[in-house]
Amino acid sequence: MRHAHAVEQVRAAEAALMARLPEGTLMQRAAAGLAAVCVRLLPRVYGSRVLVLAGSGDNGGDALYAGARLARRGASVRVVLLTPERAHADGLAELLAAGGRVTADPAEFERADLVLDGIVGIGGRGGLRPAAAPYAGMRRSGPVVAVDVPSGVDADTGEVDGVALRADVTVCFGTYKPGLLIDPGASYAGVLHLVGIGLELPPAPVTALQEQDVAGLLPRPAAESDKYRRGVVGVAAGSARYPGAAVLAVAGALRGGAGAVRYAGTAAEEVVRRFPEVLVTEGTPGGAGRVQAWVVGPGGGEGAGAALAEALASDVPVLVDADGLTELARLGPDALRDRTAPTVLTPHAGEAARLLAGALGGPPPPADAAAAARLATARRLAAAYRATVLLKGSTTVVADPGGGVRVNATGTPWLATAGSGDVLSGLTGSLLAAGLAPLDAASVGAYLHGMAGRDAAERRTPITAMEVAEHVRF
């Protein structure tokens, strides 16, 4: 599991540890870890050109001390001081003593074999300032290593106000920061290296599942399992106009680990023709028989409202997607007030904007704004609807009403294809039916869906939604 802590938590842990250690210890730990990563990135250190971009805070201090370490190993180190009169004095003195030189020549950015971005770290506020901003637009071929956070990325949210420096590698200290795991910030961070500096941290508010975590959460049949004990998932999806959404949601559900899939809706014939193993009814969820979770809404068209109402009236977990979300946005959070079992919402940014408007009144915010502030959007929705919210996009953010957040980055841009979301909702609903808690079901669903998309794209691109379903495996 990757754990990401808020800046406030990092600051508190840093203060507690610093009180027990000689001054400068943490910065030296950080700089040593940073320099070690740089050494591995350079074909050889001796004679290579390194440019340090140093801001006026401790982030600049880390970069200067790391630069000094590289200079002592024979690198030719230049430093651009973004605010010369307020540079980290001890760090700069150490670099100069090791043979480093100050430069004001921006062309060094292109010439250097490696650039260290120590402009600003967790102390950043607002967009990059004028002295730093031009570096965000400059191109170069060798690696850019971000110190703790790519400058211009908000460490807590991943939001970028204006421009940010694009890194190939980010070396972060003590813990991951949410902004390194959530787009757009994550896309600026490149490969992440975590350097331990001894911080004692509370539970992380934001986590990201790794392969072994997912393996531990997946429902696997035991010797005594039968199909009912493995869970039955109900899918209420599709309409005369969109029968394919039903087929795709069912395809996802069949791959999610439930023991059986029931389908309720007007596409029963299409579904059973494609998947003879599915129990189908032309009716609505209320008359479909017992299930352990419902998936409602993909391609539901005009019937989505009735199906949603019946599913929400049940006492099992309900996942609401697509047309079900449009209906829910119209009804607002009151529609979920009497529920006794969890509800999971799986909006894309546009649907999230409509849900927000449904909860808070006023016109929906632009979808782009909801996507750019995806952590805040998912959290606000989870709190307003008291539901687990899976916000789809280049990093999927899953927010629980209790405050926990999981982020997932296993996807590929090829997943932005029609019907891909239907597969995800079926898959996640199946995991709910198999007994996973909502936050686990949604984050494991997003992980598996992203991996399936990648696997499908490795064989052939572009990919189709059905291929994504076919590539789900665990």
Ligand X SMILES: NC(=O)C1=CN([C@@H]2O[C@H](COP(=O)(O)OP(=O)(O)OC[C@H]3O[C@@H](n4cnc5c(N)ncnc54)[C@H](OP(=O)(O)O)[C@@H]3O)[C@@H](O)[C@H]2O)[C@@H](O)CC1
Binding-site annotation: residue ranges: 58-62, 117, 121-127, 148, 151, 245, 299, 348, 392-396, 421-422
Please give the C-alpha separations between residue 103 and each of 80, 109, 132, 446, in angstroms, as whole numbers: 5, 11, 14, 47
d(CA 294, CA 313): 11
Query: Which H/E stretch holds residue 147?
Result: strand 144-147
Kindly give the residue spans of alpha helices, DSSP state H, lying in 263-321: 268-274, 304-312
The site partner of 456 among ligand X, K ion, none (C-beta below 5 to 8 Å per kind) is none
d(CA 207, CA 214): 13
Tokens at 225, concatenated: 């399992």
d(CA 355, CA 364): 8
- Give the HSE-up count for residue 307: Cα atoms under 13 Å, Cβ half-sphere: 36
82 versus 236: smaller Cβ distance to K ion: 82
Residues numbered 129-168 forming contacts with K ion, rule: CB under 5 A: 146-147, 151
- Report in angstroms how near the CB of residue 177 gets to ligand X at its nearest: 9
Residues numbered 199-218 forming contacts with ligand X, rule: CB under 6 A: 199
3-state secondary structure of 206: strand
Residues 397-426, one symbol each (x = binds ligand X by CB under 6 A, - = not), give ------------------------------
Range in contact with ligand X (rule: CB under 6 A) among 123-131, 202-210, 253-261, 389-397: 123-131
Q: Find residue 320's DSSP bridge partners.
A: 296, 345
Range in contact with ligand X (rule: CB under 6 A) among 99-107, 113-121, 229-237, 335-343: 113-121
Task: Check binding of 132 to ligand X (CB under 6 A).
Answer: yes
351 phi, psi to nearest 5 deg: -65, -35
Task: Check binding of 185 to ligand X (CB under 6 A).
Answer: no
Task: Check binding of 178 to ligand X (CB under 6 A).
Answer: no
Determine which residue in the list 94, 108, 148, 154 makes contact with ligand X, applying CB under 6 A: 148
d(CA 75, CA 136): 24
d(CA 79, CA 77): 7
Tokens at 367, concatenated: 């979808």
- Report in angstroms how near the CB of residue 68 gets to ligand X at its nearest: 14
Range in contact with K ion (rule: CB under 5 A) among 119-127, 219-227, 403-411, 426-434: 119-127
Residues numbered 20-79 forming contacts with ligand X, rule: CB under 6 A: 26-27, 30, 55-60, 62
Q: Which residues contact K ion by CB under 5 A?
A: 117, 121, 146-147, 151
Name the site residues for ligand X (rule: CB under 6 A).
Answer: 10, 14, 26-27, 30, 55-60, 62, 119-129, 132, 147-148, 173-174, 197, 199
